[in-house]
Chains A and B, each alone.
Chain A
Amino acid sequence: DIVMTQSPDSLAVSLGERATINCRSSQSVLYSSNNKNYLAWYQQKPGQPPKLFIYWASTRESGVPDRFSGSGSGTDFTLTISSLQAEDVAVYYCQQYYPTPLITFGQGTRLEIK
Chain B
Amino acid sequence: QVQLVQSGAEVKKPGSSVKVSCKASGGTFSSYTISWVRQAPGQGLEWMARIIPILDMANYAQRFQGRVTITADKSTSTAYMELSSLRSDDTAVYYCARETSSSAFDIWGQGTMVTVSS
In the docked arrangement, what's the CA distance between A56 and B44, Å? 21
For B, the interface residue count at a CB cutoff of 8 angstroms equals 22
Q: When the two chains form their complex, are residues B47 and A49 in contact, meaning their CB atoms are under 8 A apart?
A: no
Q: Which of B72-80, B81-89, B97-105 contacts A (4 or more CB under 8 A)?
A: B97-105
B46 proximal to A (CB < 8 A):
yes
Would you give the shortest CB distance from A61 to chain B, in whole angstroms? 7
* Most A CB within 10 A of own CB, among B59, B95, B105: B105
B35 proximal to A (CB < 8 A):
yes
**Chain B residues near A106 (CB-CB < 8 A):** 44
B9 proximal to A (CB < 8 A):
no
A interface, over-half SS: loop
* Most A CB within 10 A of own CB, among B35, B97, B108: B108
B110 proximal to A (CB < 8 A):
yes
Q: When the two chains form their complex, are residues A52 and B106 in contact, meaning their CB atoms are under 8 A apart?
A: yes
**Interface residues, chain B, with chain A CB atoms under 8 Å away:** 35, 44-47, 50, 59, 61-62, 95, 97, 99-100, 102-106, 108-111
Provide 30 A-B residue pairs closer than 8 Å at the C-beta atoms, listed in order of the A residue: A36-B102, A38-B103, A40-B104, A40-B105, A42-B45, A49-B108, A49-B109, A49-B110, A50-B45, A50-B105, A51-B108, A52-B106, A55-B100, A55-B104, A56-B102, A93-B44, A93-B45, A95-B105, A98-B103, A101-B50, A102-B47, A102-B59, A102-B62, A103-B35, A103-B47, A104-B47, A105-B44, A105-B46, A105-B47, A108-B45
